Amino acid sequence: MKKILIAALTLILFCLFSFFYFELPFNLIRPVFHTDSINHYARQYNLDPLLITSIIKVESNFLRRARSRVGATGLMQVLPSTAKEIGPELGYTDYSKIDLENPDTNIRFGSLYIRKLSDEFDGNLALTIAAYNAGKNKVHSWYLQNPLIAVEYSDMPYKETRNYVYNVMRTYKWLQKIQKLKILIGRKKPEQT
C-alpha cells in the first residue's frame, strides 16, 4: 500500500512539475487508440511505436476519418499519391480513400512510409519527420542547401514543417518520458522489438 501511495504521489508531482516547467500537454495522458496496429506495424518495420503514436497524435489526434485540405486521409494522414507509391509493395493495387480511413490499413501504409523515409535519410529523425510532412524531395533540397537542418530543424525554410517537426519531436519525447515513468513504477514492461 505504501509503495502504491509513493508511486501515485511521484506521478502527480512529476505531472505537475512537468506541466509548469515543460508545459506538458495533458491530452497526451489520455488513452491511445489502435495500439495493437501501432505495435504490430512498428515491430514489422523496425520503428518505435511511440514515434508512430506521436505522428498520429500530431497528424489527426486519433481521428480515423480525418482529411486534410490537400487530400491526406486517416490517422496518419496518408496522401493518395503516397498510397499509390507504396501500395503495390503491400499488395494493394486498387484502393479508395475509404480504405485509407481504416485504422489498420492507414497505420500500415504510414508506418511503411516512415520506414522508407528513415532509410532514405540514414535514420535521421528530424529529416524523416520533415519529409513525412513536406515531402522527401523538398527535404533533400533543403539539406543540400543547409546540412545543419539535420540537427537544427529550426533552420528548415517552411514554418509549417518546422512546427510539425517540433510538435512530433515534443510529443515523442513526452511519450518516452511517460513510458519510462510507467516502467519505473512497475506498471508496464518495455516493448520487445
Domain membership of residue 79 as a residue range: 2-184
Q: How far apart are CA 118 and CA 107, in angstroms?
A: 16
Tens of pLDDT, residue by residue over 25-81, are: 444 444 578 999 999 999 999 999 999 999 999 999 999 899 999 999 999 999 999
| Residue 170: pLDDT over 60 | yes
- The whole model's pTM is what? 0.80
Q: What are phi and psi of 78, to 5 degrees?
A: -80, 130
pLDDT band at 145 (very low <50, low <70, confident <90, very high): very high
Amino acid letter, residue 58:
V
pLDDT band at 158 (very low <50, low <70, confident <90, very high): very high
Residue 193 lies in a domain: no
In the set 59, 101, 152, 191, the catalytic residue is 59
What's the structural domain count of the chain? 1
Concerning whether 160 is annotated as a catalytic residue, the answer is no
**pLDDT value at residue 141:** 95
CATH number at residue 119: 1.10.530.10
Residue 191 lies in a domain: no
